[in-house]
Amino acid sequence: MALPRITSPHAKGSNRTQQVMLQVLLATVPGILALTWLFGAGTLINLLWASACALGFEAAILALRKRPVLFFLKDYSVLVTAVLLALALPPYSPWWLTLVATGFAVVFGKQLYGGLGQNPFNPAMLGYVVVLISFPVEMTSWPAPHTVGLLEGLQQILGIANLPDGWAQATALDALKVNKSLTIDELWAQHPAFGYLGGAATEAVNLAFLAGGLYLLHKRLFTWHAPVGMLAGLAVMSLLFWNGSGSDSNGSPLFHLLTGATMLGAFFIVTDPVSGATSNLGRLIFGIGVGVLVYVIRAWGGYPDGVAFAVLLMNLAAPTIDYYTRPRTYGHRKPTRGFKLGE
């Protein structure tokens, strides 16, 4: 095939799926380092095991579906799912928990809908929610920072020997949720490991994810609309319902922005181009919805953190958001909403 010679400038495109996925993987490195520094090697073991499981499941189901296995494995999208899932799971979750979560994410969340680009829900969050609902004890066992060594951590993951009782502690969101009598200052004084703002020193983790997210934003892998929408929605809600440091307080806006999975969600989950909204306005609405729902679940829901549930709920709403935010077509005065017959 002869290509026509065209004049400069020749812009080199770098938006192939593989490149995009590699950039996302690279951007998770600060967060991985922060988690490893805090909780020990469990994060890394989890990461490797989740990636191996995800690759295995993806290869198996691609073969079952009679698709080219290597071609789809090489786009690294399944690795991104596995890494995001492993970062969301507790660092010392047992091996079978990670296996179930990745299996569900890859097989039910992604491939049964038709593979990359066809899934209505974020696969990583789907896998996370499945194990969160099924195994609440294991999913809420976060260790205190700097306590678990490599060997005992590995034994815990493999189920050979259990860590000594009381190795797991409540996260700040947990403690805040069950707290009925203490003021915020008293609560924090009881838990020295909570750090300054985010709780359990997760502000460091959140800042690391923020750094990775800003790198992706700088690389223009996504627009600012969805993350800013989510952070703004969460901040405004927590400001509106913040009543100082009383015992019925739900925490300050800064606390909510820097705790739990806020930054991981804002820059790595709601920016998912497949399961989110498509237009810029739509992304903004999608992000705001996630932010508001995260606060609603944290403050009044049954679970301490709500990023995964909020994202799945807004995934459900994404087609409707797209329907009402179609951009104006050039040459038309008003945007056409919805789909016309014969289109």
Partner 1 sequence: MASYREIVVNSLWKNNPGLVQLLGLCPLLGVSNSVVNALGMGLATALVLACSNAAVSLIRNAVTDAVRLPAFVMIIAALTTCTELLMQAFTYELYQILGIFIPLITTNCIILGRAEAFAAKNKVSHAAFDGLMMGIGFGLVMVVIGAVRELLGTGALFANMQLLFGPIAANWQLTLLSDYKGFLLAILPPGAFLVLGLLVAGKNRIDEHLEAKAKAQEPEAPVQSRRVRVTGVIE
DSSP 8-state symbol, 326: P
Return the biggest CA–CA distance within the chain: 77
Distances (CA, A) of 169 to 16, 47, 135, 141, 192: 43, 22, 17, 7, 12
Each as own residue / partner, the long-range contacts of residues 10-15 (CB below 8 Å, 24 or more positions apart, any chain) are: none
Closest by CA position to 86, among listed 112, 53, 135: 53
CB of 52 to partner 1, least distance (A): 22
Distance CA 332, CA 93 (A): 55
Give the binding site for partner 1 (CB under 8 A).
100, 108, 130, 133-136, 138
Distance CA 134, CA 291 (A): 25
CB of 136 to partner 1, least distance (A): 8
Distance CA 30, CA 207 (A): 9
Closer residue to partner 1 in complex, CB, 108/324? 108
Distance CA 239, CA 242 (A): 5
Closer residue to partner 1 in complex, CB, 108/215? 108
CB 179 within 8 A of CB 189: no
Distances (CA, A) of 282 to 86, 190, 316, 320: 29, 43, 13, 10
Closer residue to partner 1 in complex, CB, 110/283? 110
CB of 96 to partner 1, least distance (A): 8
CB of 93 to partner 1, least distance (A): 12
DSSP 8-state symbol, 143: E
Closer residue to partner 1 in complex, CB, 39/104? 104
CB of 95 to partner 1, least distance (A): 13
- The structure tokens 């606390």 sit at 255
CB of 51 to partner 1, least distance (A): 23
Closer residue to partner 1 in complex, CB, 108/242? 108
CB of 134 to partner 1, least distance (A): 4
Closer residue to partner 1 in complex, CB, 134/162? 134
Closer residue to partner 1 in complex, CB, 126/170? 126
Tokens of 166: 């009381």
